[in-house]
Amino acid sequence: MPPQRNPATGPNALEIGSPEDNVHPKPVDITVHEAARSQDYCSPHSDSFDGRGDQINAENWLNDVEELLATTRCTNEQKVAYATCKLTKEARCWWQEKNMVLVVDLGSEDAITWDIFKHELNQHFFPRVVQEAKAQVFLDLVQGGMTVIEYTAKFLQLSQFGMYLILNEEKKEKKAKKFEQGLNSRIQIMMS
């Protein structure tokens, strides 16, 4: 059962869905400060990012946070406040230093937008060279000795890194074509 929340309205209201709703959470107005204090939403052990491990962890964590925040109607500043309260260990130390530099550069902590936060996080924990290497792995992916199920899983996992190479309007068609081209030739023939 979620913690009791005092409804709030105004510019600092953060809407977070009710976990009891299985399909689409019902928004509940709470302030960003109440959300930050909430054990469900800001516990260092729930959906936190420590900056360690594979560089893809940063991208996956950021995607998870964005997916959660998409269910809210919070401001960019509230998004930054939520995400930064989920940083632990090395990631928290990095953000404390980076935040100070950004405040000096931008003139105010309020000037740190969600896009700036995402850019800085990715630049530090998931640098462009790693993104490009993952994109190349995606482009080079073929089924080889994998089963179709294994190939499909690997394709879906890596496709997030290669899709920026394909124009938006062509994404679905080109993604399907890339998938088919990576299948073993005997399967390609059966599909023709």
pLDDT along the chain (192 residues), means of 10: 41 41 42 46 62 80 87 85 92 94 88 90 85 84 92 85 60 76 83 73
Mean pLDDT (the chain) is 74
Residue 171 is predicted with a pLDDT of 66
End-to-end CA distance of the chain: 53
Tell me the per-residue pLDDT of 100-109, one tens digit each, with 9 for 90 and over. 999 999 888 8
Residue closest to 46 by CA, chosen among 54, 36, 56 = 36
Tell me the per-residue pLDDT of 136-164, one tens digit each, with 9 for 90 and over. 888 888 999 999 999 999 888 887 776 66
Distance, CA of 30 to CA of 34 (rounded, Å) = 6
pTM of the full structure: 0.57
